[in-house]
Structure 1
Amino acid sequence: MIKGLIGNDLVVNEDSCNLSCTYCLTGQSNLKTSHSEQLIFGPPTRDRYAPGSLLGQRLPLINKRVDDTFQVPLLKVTGGEVFLVEGVMDFLREQAREHEVLVVQTNGVLVREEHLEQFHSWGNVVLQISLDSHLFPGNSHRVHSEKLHAKVVARIESILDSGLHTEIYGVLNDRSVAELDAFAQWLLDRPTPPLFFPFPVRGPDSARFAVRPDQVHHIEGFVQRYDDFAPVLPPRPYFDRLLSFYREGGRTFRCHLPRMVISTFSDGMVTPCPNIWFSNMGNLLADDWAQTLDQVGETGLYQALLAPRPRLNACRGCFTPWDTLSMFFDDEITLDELCAAPTYAPPRIRQLIADSKRRYDLEQRAGRS
């Protein structure tokens, strides 16, 4: 079994969102029957987290079983849109007490001032905000009217100006790529600038939305201006990987993410990679939940996911902000550079990452001897 797992990526009601991004990964996934039915593009469904509700029974049990097995210090909660869940702040508050870092990914539309005040008081929350551009043309795969876009940006401005640790997840597509410079400058001009991670659109339908070869020059020009935008950007080698992804026609470099993080769902399902939902390893709400977690790091799929070069088509089409972990394992950035991000900054998380890297290096040397 993999030792030193740092995190659980918990996906809550992934089929329910208040936006209908044309490139949504849930809408392209075939992991579950509901995914193939593309419920994500229908009207969002409300849910409730409370002691007597289904989510109130399931979520604490899922987290407890992962935490009891791996003692993960990092919990990421995503969706769908988690703030569609009534009472979700009660769940987040409980989990903030249990983890060194609580990461909440959201489109920001339903985040209110009272939420931000509570997050501040907990002291260990990182908000990951999905936004492709502050300008409507570049964000129009995500929202479909200028009026809605204005509302989205207004809410996100409030979040950014709150002083919370914030990361912007910007999907690079045929509409957003031309606005990279302007978007980064807009972020840089905020009173508390966030960290900005641009990354390629993914999924089986990504060709419909992908940056075209004649548009790659926008990324190249942006990278040439790295120093101008450095305060809001990850380390420079991140962009070496990003440009390689476009120049080589996909991922050619190794991924180490499944060594460190698993993905769970609010219905109990477990899958080995937070980036691409490959397979159902089992269910944490079933009687054999311990056997499911015994598979972590041990199945043939893990061998494929952790191969020196990507073996699976989905892997070859994948590059995300999680890649900074892989960059550290491949000696492209230092531990200090990795842990400058608040997600990895706590001492226990930093130590677990360092220990996992040390074991990996020993295994690599043993394999070469």
Structure 2
Amino acid sequence: MPSTPLPLIGNDLVINEDSCNLSCTYCLTGQSNLKEGHSLKLIFDPPKRDDYSPTTDLGRRINTVAGRLHGRFDLPLLKVTGGEIFLVRGVMDFLEEQSAQYEVLVVQTNGVLVNDEQLARLRSFGNVVLQISLDSHLYQGNSYRVQSESLHTKVVRTIARILESGLPVEIYGVLNDRSVTELSEFAGWLSGFENQPTFFPFPVRGPDSETFKVRPDQIGHIEELVRRYDEFAGILPPRPYFDRLLSFYHEGRRTFRCHLPRLVVSTFSDGVVTPCPNIWFSDMGNVLSDEAETVLDKLGSSGLYQALLAPKPRLSACHGCFTPWDTLSMYFEDEITLDELCAAPTYAPPRIRGMIERAKADYLAGADV
């Protein structure tokens, strides 16, 4: 069991996860059973606008959620995601307020609603990393995310502007039976930008993934990208990332250990806490309730962590999971070095680097097994 408190480095704060301006066919929120709204697939309803200020209902809630996690664990990293957070009027004020409290503020978005003024403001914060969801620069490969070629053209045009903004950008590309055929072409397109992003391709996940997953006869497209690694090295994560990725496909499931829950927790704008940012399958309680301290005490001490941090994945949901967060686990398993891990701007600040290094040392010493 991990010790308490956990050596957390980050909070993955999910705002209004049921409200998005795209309706990705494979959307994980639409497959999650964590909340009743997820099982009802409200994510596919017309998106709902919301308002942030310190006095709105949403503002009070997310300030409290972020503040209680930061206060308990002195976190250096906050990731803000949705839904689509730029549907929230005033969200830039929240991001600016939070950026001042963390070494790194990660903002995940599909990019469609991000304008030049917002990009300039985000750049002025000095510690923002943008994570952009895009499966391909070509319509066919991105067609599970957008349902028309005209919308796809708008999406790509907007993301190109983001890539030219000077902000550190990570591209999160979901590998499915459509996008995988364009993988090397997509890498080539991303390589053409002066401000090169880091491109993380990772498998489609969730209970419905069988419908969309890369077929065995398509794995060769991933192998082609690996053969051309040197050509695209400027935009790709460390080479061992692809060893894990190909292992996932050749084995048909995840067989390697995950350390993510000892380092990052996921919270929601309604106060719900779940121990894994990748898969929302356990409601550990609500940090907006009077029992907030009790809920936070559970992090690292509940029996679920034994399964999540086991040497081999135990839970069926974990068997189907591999994401860009895996670079943290790869460092813990000596598959990449600390320098390779912290070449990413998300983990580059000295305090974050030091916390990760100490967490691994404690784990190896037997304090966290």
Counterpart of 2:83 in 1: which secondary structure?
Answer: coil
Whether the aligned pair in 1 keeps the contact of 2:338 and 2:357 (CA below 8 Å) is yes
Q: How does 1:286-297 map to 2 (within 5 A)?
A: 286-297=289-300
The 5-angstrom pairing of residues 6-45 of structure 1 reads 6-45=9-48
| Counterpart residue number, 2:87 | 84
Contact persistence 1:2–1:259 (CA under 8 A): no
Give identity over the alignment, percent. 69
Question: 1:258: how far off?
Answer: 0.3
- For the residue of structure 2 that corresponds to 1:229, the secondary structure is helix
Flag as ranges the 4+ runs of structure 1 deviating above 4 A: none
Q: Tell me, what secondary structure is at the counterpart of 2:265?
A: strand
Which residue of the partner structure matches residue 241 of structure 2?
Answer: 238
Q: How does 1:99-114 map to 2 (within 5 A)?
A: 99-114=102-117
Match among 176, 182, 185 for residue 182 of structure 1: 185
Equivalent-residue separation in structure 2 for 1:240 and 1:2 (angstroms): 32
Residue 157 of structure 2 is aligned to residue 121 of structure 1: no
- Residue number in structure 1 paired with 2:55: 52
SS in 1 for 2:261: helix
The count of aligned residue pairs is: 366
CA deviation map 1:38-72 (0-9, x unaligned): 01011000000013211111111111110111001
Decide which of 163, 166, 174 is 2:166's aligned counterpart: 163
Distance 1:52 1:230 in 2: 46
Instruction: Tell me whether 1:250 sits opposite 2:234 in the alignment.
Output: no
Equivalence map 1:184-223=2 (5 Å): 184-223=187-226
Secondary structure of the equivalent of 1:103? strand
Taking only aligned residues, the RMSD between alpha carbons, in angstroms, comes to 1.0
SS in 2 for 1:177: helix
Where in structure 1 are there 5+ consecutive unaligned residues?
A: none
Task: Return the letter of the residue paired with 1:12.
Answer: I
CA drift at 1:153: 0.3
What is the distance in 2 between the residues matched to 1:313 and 1:24? Answer: 18
| 5+ residue gaps, structure 2 | none
What is the TM-score when the length of structure 2 is the normalising length?
A: 0.98
TM-score normalised by structure 1 residue count:
0.98
| In structure 2, distance between residues paired with 1:94 and 1:226 | 39
Residues 55-66 of structure 1: pairs in structure 2 closer than 5 A: 55-66=58-69
2: CA distance, partners of 1:31 / 1:119: 32
Amino acid at match of 1:157: A
Structure 2 letter corresponding to 1:75: L
For residue 152 of structure 1, what is the aligned residue in structure 2? 155
Residue 332 of structure 1: CA displacement? 0.3
Identify the residue that residue 301 of structure 2 maps to in structure 1.
Answer: 298
**Structure 2 residue aligned with 1:172, among 165, 168, 175?**
175
Instruction: Show the counterpart of 2:6.
Output: 3
Q: Determine whether 1:347 maps to 2:338.
A: no
